[in-house]
């Protein structure tokens, strides 16, 4: 049952292999005077502190986008970190830089970019998006970057960092971006950010319709698929196939392996359709060392030091679970199926209501109050949320709260009285494969 300990013999064997590589040089790596008692005691204290976490590993945790990495990713990360290569340059870690290139090539293949692209891993989605927006600004220095209110909040902030105007695309009550607004402001827009799986409710925005406008008006498209990117592996099983089919049309794409790619934190990625954008990163550093003529990861990234261990972990994971429908896709199918089953239970429920059909594996819902007032919906959401957190491990659950505007709510549920400007509903992220079989238990615990 325990996820990680069965891998300890493999880790120990691999560590010994690395040790023997190390000892070829001399014995400087050998230590004999470890104070085991002190180490034990520090680790013991660490465990006590770590036990203060919510149970991210358990399917009763269906709150935020959190889960442990695949044990193989953890193992590969730990092993590589004993060497601690730095992927800022090929020479900071030749093997892990090669692994990064191979893993990024798989990502490029997954999104349909083929062989001509430019890309690299980053320490996360925010930095990857910053790079995409940086290139967007370099290409259209006098134009703005547009995104909907459902886009990740960091886009607006990064536009301030880049000193670029951010234009918010209004959405209607069903969260559809206002395409006429984009049309009307087209001469002012350099790039439109389209979110393929919003962080809130996993909504896939209408990429295909926005691409049509981009072709007509000449603006760029950046697809923020930090959360949703890996779902393109199972696009045939998703409601918005038409949108996923257009992903390769985007000029840049961000995907977070540390969200749905089973990686420990510290692994995002950015891909560009046109490798020529590499020129915007150009820099001359007196510190970097060039012993090869190959493309140098540090020359195409805004960050300098990055963990080679992240690249090794992602690369190793892809050896076990390749980017195919039956590889990593098999896990996404289960998370999607969990969300569909949970939504069906909500639809059939007398006490609860599904907020909207999920596009991915994130579900919004609420408990129906007697009086049909928004303030009562919010109150019940808070009560249910807190009840699950306070309960014992064998009967508890962890959800999250999500605020929507009264307009959006009453458009979906016209018989509710808008006695407040916004309403808090419940939100569950079913991003673990274990969620699939746990849904009935979870629904019962919540009282659905
Ligand atoms: C998580 C997320 C981000 C931010 O990525 P980090 O890896 O947390 O920095 C950006 N956009 C979307 C759509 C996300 O879901």
Q: State which of 285, 320, 355 marks the end of a domain.
A: 320
Res 282 pLDDT > 80: no
Judged by average pLDDT, the poorest of 53-57, 140-144, 172-176, 245-249 is 172-176
Q: Do 283 and 338 belong together in one domain?
A: no
- pTM of the predicted model as reported, rounded to 2 decimal places: 0.96
Q: Judging by beta carbons within 10 Å of its beta carbon (0-12, 13-18, 19+), is residue 5 exposed, middle or buried?
A: exposed
End-to-end CA distance of the chain: 28
223 CA → ligand 1 middle, Å: 12
- For CA atoms 230, 197, 244, 136, the dihedral sign is negative
Assigned token pair, 201: 């409710």
Is there a single domain that holds both residue 268 and residue 367?
Answer: no
Could you tell me the maximum CA-CA distance found in the chain, to the nearest angstrom?
77
**Residue 91 tokens, joined:** 């020479």
Instruction: Say how many CA atoms lie within 13 Å of 317 toward its Cβ.
Output: 31
In terms of domains, do 162 and 298 share one? Answer: yes
**For position 143, what pLDDT does the model report?**
98
- 266, 286, 320 - which closes a domain: 320
Question: How would residue 212 be classed by pLDDT, with cut points 50, 70 and 90?
Answer: very high
Q: What is the mean pLDDT of residues 134-154?
A: 97
Calculate mean pLDDT across residues 8-33. Answer: 88
Split at pLDDT 50, 70, 90, the class of 291 is: very low
Segment 334-348, tens digit of pLDDT: 999 999 999 999 999
Which pLDDT value is given to residue 445?
A: 98
Q: Is the CB of 227 under 6 A from ligand 1?
A: yes
Residue pair 230/261 in contact by the 8 Å Cβ criterion? yes
Q: Quick check: 412 and 201 in contact, CB under 8 A?
A: no
Does residue 379 share a domain with residue 283?
no
Query: Does residue 150 register a pLDDT over 90?
Result: yes
Query: What is the Å distance from ligand 1's center to 94 Cα?
Result: 29
289/210 same-domain check? yes
pLDDT at residue 294 above 80? no
306 in any annotated domain: yes
Q: Is the CB of 195 under 6 A from ligand 1?
A: yes
CA-nearest residue for atom 7, ligand 1, is: 125
pLDDT band at 295 (very low <50, low <70, confident <90, very high): low
Model pLDDT for residues 64-110, shown as the tens digit of each residue: 999 999 999 999 999 999 999 999 887 899 999 999 999 999 999 99
Per-residue three-class SS string for 62-98: CCCCCCCCCHHHHHHHHHHHCCCCECCCHHHCHHHHH
Burial of 38 (0-12, 13-18, 19+ CB in 10 A): exposed
In 3D space, the residue among 430, 280, 415, 312 whose CA is nearest the CA of residue 361 turns out to be 430
Average pLDDT over residues 252-259: 98
Closest CA to 211 of 235, 247, 240: 247
Q: Which of 226, 261, 267 to mutate to test the pocket of ligand 1 (most atoms within 8 A of CB)?
A: 226
Looking at the fold, whether 156 and 240 belong to one and the same domain comes out as yes
Q: Is 126 in the pocket of ligand 1 (CB under 6 A)?
A: yes
With 50 as the cut, is the pLDDT of residue 4 above it? Answer: yes
Name the strand (E) or helix (H) holding 226.
Answer: none
From the CA of 364, how far away is ligand 1's center (Å)? 19
CB-count exposure of residue 198 (10 Å: 0-12, 13-18, 19+): buried
Q: What is the residue-averaged pLDDT of the chain?
A: 94
Q: Measure 131 CA to ligand 1 centroid, in angstroms.
A: 13
Residue 292: its pLDDT value, please?
46
User: So what's the pLDDT on residue 28?
Assistant: 72
Task: Say which CATH number the domain at 121 has.
Answer: 3.40.640.10
% of the chain residues with pLDDT over 90: 88
- For residue 422, give the H/E element and its range: strand 422-429
Task: Determine the pLDDT at residue 287.
Answer: 52
What is residue 174's predicted lDDT score, i.e. its pLDDT? 87
d(CA 418, CA 224): 33
* Residue 268 CA, closest ligand 1 atom number: 7
Question: Are residues 340 and 268 part of one domain?
Answer: no
Provide DSSP, 366-405.
Answer: EEPPTT-BHHHHHHHHHHHHHHHHHS-TTT--B-EEEEEE
Instruction: Please tell me the total number of residues recorded for the chain in this structure.
Output: 448
Q: Is residue 205 part of a domain?
A: yes
Instruction: Identify whether residues 118 and 212 lie together within a single domain.
Output: yes
Task: Measure the CA–CA gap between 108 and 391, rounded to whole angstroms.
Answer: 44
User: What three-state secondary structure class fits 260?
Assistant: helix
What integer pLDDT is reported at residue 91 of this predicted model?
A: 83
Measured CA to CA, the distance from residue 347 to residue 343 in angstroms comes to: 6
Last residue of a domain, one of 320, 339, 356: 320
> Is 243 touching ligand 1 by the criterion CB < 6 Å?
no
- Ligand 1 within 6 A of CB of 131: no
314 and 365 inside one domain: no
Q: What is the mean pLDDT of residues 286-311?
A: 74
Residue 329 has pLDDT above 70, yes or no: yes
Q: Rg of the chain over CA atoms, in angstroms?
A: 24
280 and 155 assigned to the same domain: yes
Strand partners for 166: 145
Q: Which domain holds residue 183?
A: 90-320
Say yes or no: 340 and 300 in one domain. Answer: no
Tally of domains in the chain: 2
């Amino acid at each position: 049952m325990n996820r990680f300990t069965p891998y300890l013999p493999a880790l120990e064997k691999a560590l010994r292999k690395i040790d023997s590589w190390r000892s070829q040089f001399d014995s400087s790596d050998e230590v004999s005077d470890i104070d085991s008692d002190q180490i034990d005691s520090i680790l013991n204290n660490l465990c006590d502190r770590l036990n203060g976490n919510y149970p991210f590993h358990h399917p009763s945790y269906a709150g935020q986008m959190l889960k442990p990495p695949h044990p193989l990713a953890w193992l590969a990360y730990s092993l590589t970190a004993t060497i601690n290569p730095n992927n800022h340059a090929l020479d900071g870690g030749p093997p892990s830089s090669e692994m990064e290139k191979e893993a990024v090539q798989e990502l490029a293949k997954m999104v349909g970019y083929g062989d001509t692209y430019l890309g690299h891993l980053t320490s996360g989605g925010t930095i990857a998006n910053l790079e995409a927006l940086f290139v967007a600004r370099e290409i259209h220095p006098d134009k703005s970057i547009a995104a909907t209110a459902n886009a990740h909040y960091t886009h607006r902030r990064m536009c301030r960092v880049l000193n670029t105007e951010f234009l918010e695309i209004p959405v209607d009550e069903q969260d559809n971006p206002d395409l006429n607004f984009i049309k009307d402001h087209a001469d002012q827009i350099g790039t439109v950010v389209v979110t393929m799986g919003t962080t809130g409710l996993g909504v896939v925005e209408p990429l295909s319709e926005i691409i049509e406008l981009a072709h007509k008006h000449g603006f760029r498209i950046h697809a923020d698929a930090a959360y949703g990117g890996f779902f393109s592996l199972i696009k045939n099983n998703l409601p918005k196939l038409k949108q996923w089919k257009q992903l390769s049309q985007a000029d840049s794409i961000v995907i977070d392996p540390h969200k749905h790619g089973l990686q420990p934190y510290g692994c995002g990625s950015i891909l560009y359709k046109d490798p020529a954008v590499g020129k915007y990163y150009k820099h001359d550093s007196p510190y970097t060392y060039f012993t090869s003529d190959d493309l140098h990861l540090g020359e195409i990234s805004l960050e300098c030091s990055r963990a080679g261990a992240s690249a090794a972990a992602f690369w190793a994971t892809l050896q076990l679970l390749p980017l195919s429908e039956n590889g990593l896709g098999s896990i996404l199918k289960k998370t999607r199926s969990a969300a569909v089953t949970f939504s069906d239970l909500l639809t059939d429920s007398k006490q609860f209501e599904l907020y909207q059909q999920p596009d991915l594996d994130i579900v919004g819902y609420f408990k129906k109050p007697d009086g049909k007032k928004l303030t009562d919906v919010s109150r019940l959401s808070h009560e249910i949320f807190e009840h699950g957190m306070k309960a014992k491990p064998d009967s508890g659950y962890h959800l999250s709260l999500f605020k929507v505007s009264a307009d959006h709510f009453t458009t979906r549920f016209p018989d509710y009285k808008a006695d407040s400007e916004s309403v808090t509903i419940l939100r569950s992220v079913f991003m673990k494969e274990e969620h699939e079989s746990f849904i009935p238990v979870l629904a019962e615990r919540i009282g659905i």
